[in-house]
Amino acid sequence: MSENNGNNNTNEGNDNGLPSHLKKIHDSLNRRQKEIYSRYNTLDQKIGYLEGIDEERKKS
């Protein structure tokens, strides 16, 4: 896994290890959603957040 230098302004380090369908969700996040996403520390938390957004989008 690549080293994360703490700079979460780039996609590198933020979406490593995400399944391809969740990478698409990540790429479509707005600024606020990306700020929230960057606060999660583990890949499992990030996946859960993105899956929640995906479910909400499917409802609308």
**Structure confidence by residue, pLDDT tens digits, 1-60:** 444 444 444 444 446 799 999 999 999 999 999 999 999 999 999 999 999 999 999 997
Residue 3 is predicted with a pLDDT of: 43
Task: Determine the pLDDT at residue 11.
Answer: 44
pTM above 0.85, yes or no: no
Closest CA to 44 of 11, 17, 13: 17
Distance CA 60, CA 55 (A): 9
